[in-house]
Amino acid sequence: MNWTEFFAMGGHAVYIWPVYGIAAVILAFNVIQPVTRRRTVFKRLRQYYRIKSKAR
Amino acid sequence: MHKYASPKIFYPFAGKLLPWLAALTAVLLVTGIYLGLFVAPPDYQQGDTVRIMFIHVPAAWMSMFIYVVMAAAGAIALSWQVKLAEVLASACAPIGASFTLLALVSGSLWGKPMWGTWWAWDARLTSELILLFLYLGFMALQASIEDPRRAARACAILALVGVVNIPIIHFSVEWWNTLHQAASVSKLGKPSIHIDILIPLLVMFGAFKAFFATTVLMRMRNELLERERETQWVAQVVEQDK
Amino acid sequence: MAALAHAITCIVRRDVTVAWRRVHDVVLPLVFFAIVTSLFPLGVGPEPNLLRELAPGVLWVAALLATMLSLNRLFANDYADGTLELLALAPHPLSVLAIAKVASHWLLTGLPLVLMAPLLALSLNLPDKALATLLYSLLLGTPVLSLIGAIGAALTLGLRGGGVLMSALVLPLYTPVLIFGAGAVAQAANGQSAEAHLSVLAAFLALALTLAPWATAAALRVSLD
């Protein structure tokens, strides 16, 4: 397996690797964002319930 | 089936499905990318750039598929006021927009070595761009309306109106003689591409579908927690999460 | 049936009367149409051949933008003074009443645009043989713009950031009309048949007439609740 040749992709490396790179970024974002949001949601809900029980 | 339409039942059910869907997504993605980059042979005419197709074509397909799901969920939400349908539609939008963006970027990078231009205003690419604007409009409208129910209903109407665009996208390649490569994978006809190219392509189709299923459930669970915060079951879920 | 026809004529008559009293509301989009069309030669230079090339697209984009601007007039005034709620409560299908509103909007905006277009086309060196096609394309297209625009106006009723948001929602939906409308005129300017393009525009009109009133009525109900 000639790695140099593989990465050169027949001279088209400048087109192919950015595509896969951007795909990775976009897919990663779509995983990370809901995960982070979940933590925020829990934090906010905990606060909300705390305030609600105090107000009773 | 109806019992799963209740947020209270759906939330844990989705939670149980998630690890399996995530695992499936990972397996399919790794397999598809491996096949696409290492196993599939370079094309006689396009050389290695054909590998971009393994990202571009499934992404473009997902961009349209997700819009249809979004519109269908909207139709259900409008007709029967099913909260789960509202949440599904809302969760679809950012994922669909992401795939549309990916399709546009990969299409542009594919077009440059093939036809010499970074961007061609032909029917297919243009329709994909319009689709991105439709997704962004949907997200903007939702953000502008405070009441979640009114937002869901307004966005459902918008999505249904936009879904008329989907057939125009699909048939635009037939209608216009353009630069863009004719659709070579069709459910109705035989694909005009070699099996060594077809298999990685189909695996990537599956991978993106599984990815969509995983991430849409994640988003739906988040939104359900917020919208249903006044209920007992949400209070319990929050308490039990330490 | 007679009551419905009466209701429609009432709405159209009322809108026209109101427009007569607030002439600037109606005239401004037309002035905008003329201004935008003149901006292009100022921007790209007066080279006659270049303008001839651009003319179909420029005229259509300008007509589109002018229609966009006029859309806020469609429901906003009635929403503000409560007429819209009364219309929604009327014993007539809201979708038909919506068509009436769109019809009066078109009479006051779309039709004048169609009539103005040939003059502006001459200023852009559009060949004479394309003028008829320009008129047909606009006659078919501007009602579609009004019909689709009504949906956007109904969806964004009363929302802050309404105008820009409405534009962002509606302009992507306008693009097929623009493509075939300008395309028809460009074909005619090149001496080719624009029949296919005009047929597609007619199909768009038929589709819009069938679906848009339903969507507009649904959107109005959502906004009024």
3-class secondary-structure state, position C156: coil
Of A15-19, B25-29, C179-183, where does the model show the most confidence? Answer: B25-29
Q: H or E segment at C92? A: none
Residue appearing with tokens 């790179």: A21
Cα–Cα distance for residue pair C50/C44, rounded to 1 Å: 8
Region A10-31 average pLDDT = 92
Question: What is the share, in percent, of chain C residues with pLDDT greater than 70?
Answer: 100
Looking at the complex, report in whole angstroms how far the Cα of residue C187 sits from the nearest Cα belonging to chain B: 14
pLDDT of residue B204: 97
B-chain residues within 8 Å CB-CB of A17?
none
Q: H or E segment at B233? A: helix B232-240
Q: Report whether pLDDT(B179) > 70.
A: no
- The DSSP result for A1-56, as a single string, is --HHHHHHGGGTHHHHHHHHHHHHHHHHHHHHHHHHHHHHHHHHHHHHHHHHHHH-
Do B135 and B67 meet the contact criterion of CB atoms below 8 Å apart? Answer: yes
With touching defined as 3+ CB pairs under 8 A, do chains A and C touch? no
pLDDT of residue B137: 95
The pLDDT-based confidence of B165 (bands split at 50, 70, 90) is: low
Q: Report whether pLDDT(C11) > 70.
A: yes
Closest residue by Cα to residue A37 from C126, C115, B91, C62: B91
B-chain residues within 8 Å CB-CB of A18?
109
Least CB-CB distance to B154: which of C155, C171, C172?
A: C155
Name residue C176's amino acid.
P
3-class secondary-structure state, position B179: coil
The pLDDT-based confidence of C126 (bands split at 50, 70, 90) is: very high
> What's the whole-number average pLDDT of chain C?
91
Region C56-60 average pLDDT = 94
The answer to whether the CB atoms of A10 and B47 lie below 8 A apart is yes
Residue B32 CB: number of other CB atoms within 10 A?
A: 23
Least CB-CB distance to C151: which of B78, B136, B161?
A: B161
Q: Is A3 on the interface with B (CB under 8 A)?
A: no
Cα–Cα distance for residue pair B129/B63, rounded to 1 Å: 11
Region B38-51 average pLDDT = 81
Query: Helix crossing, B53-80 with B123-144: angle to 10°?
Result: 40
Q: pLDDT digit string (tens) for C75-118?
A: 988 888 888 998 888 888 999 999 999 999 999 999 999 999 99
Cα–Cα distance for residue pair C184/C6, rounded to 1 Å: 37
Q: Is B6 on the interface with C (CB under 8 A)?
A: no
Cα–Cα distance for residue pair A10/A6, rounded to 1 Å: 8
Q: Report whether pLDDT(B212) > 50.
A: yes
Looking at the complex, report in whole angstroms how far the Cα of residue B21 sits from the nearest Cα belonging to chain A: 13
The answer to whether the CB atoms of B49 and A15 lie below 8 A apart is yes
Q: pLDDT digit string (tens) for B78-105?
A: 999 899 999 999 999 999 999 999 999 9
Q: Report whether pLDDT(A8) > 50.
A: yes
Residue B104 CB: number of other CB atoms within 10 A?
A: 20
More confident residue, C30 or B194: C30
The pLDDT-based confidence of B134 (bands split at 50, 70, 90) is: very high
Closest residue in B to A48 (Cα–Cα): B229
pLDDT of residue B50: 84
pLDDT of residue B183: 45
Question: Which of the 8 DSSP states describes residue B114?
Answer: H
Closest residue by Cα to residue C159 from C76, C96, C97, C85: C76
Q: Is B42 on the interface with A (CB under 8 A)?
A: yes
* Domain positions in chain C: 2-224
B 99-118: CB under 8 A from A: 99, 101-102, 105-106, 109-110, 112-113
The answer to whether the CB atoms of B154 and C219 lie below 8 A apart is yes
Looking at the complex, report in whole angstroms how far the Cα of residue B64 sits from the nearest Cα belonging to chain A: 17
pLDDT of residue B125: 74
pLDDT of residue C99: 93
More confident residue, C178 or B72: B72
pLDDT of residue B168: 67
Mutate to test the interface with B, among A3, A14, A15, A22 (most CBs of B within 10 A): A15
Closest residue by Cα to residue C127 from C68, C197, C57, C186: C186
Do B41 and B198 meet the contact criterion of CB atoms below 8 Å apart? Answer: no
C-chain residues within 8 Å CB-CB of B140?
165, 168-169
Region C199-218 average pLDDT = 94
Question: What is the token pair recorded at B65?
Answer: 């598929």
The answer to whether the CB atoms of C160 and B144 lie below 8 A apart is yes
Region C53-57 average pLDDT = 92
Closest residue by Cα to residue C97 from C217, C183, C225: C217
Q: Is B17 on the interface with C (CB under 8 A)?
A: no
Q: Report whether pLDDT(B177) > 70.
A: no
The pLDDT-based confidence of B201 (bands split at 50, 70, 90) is: very high
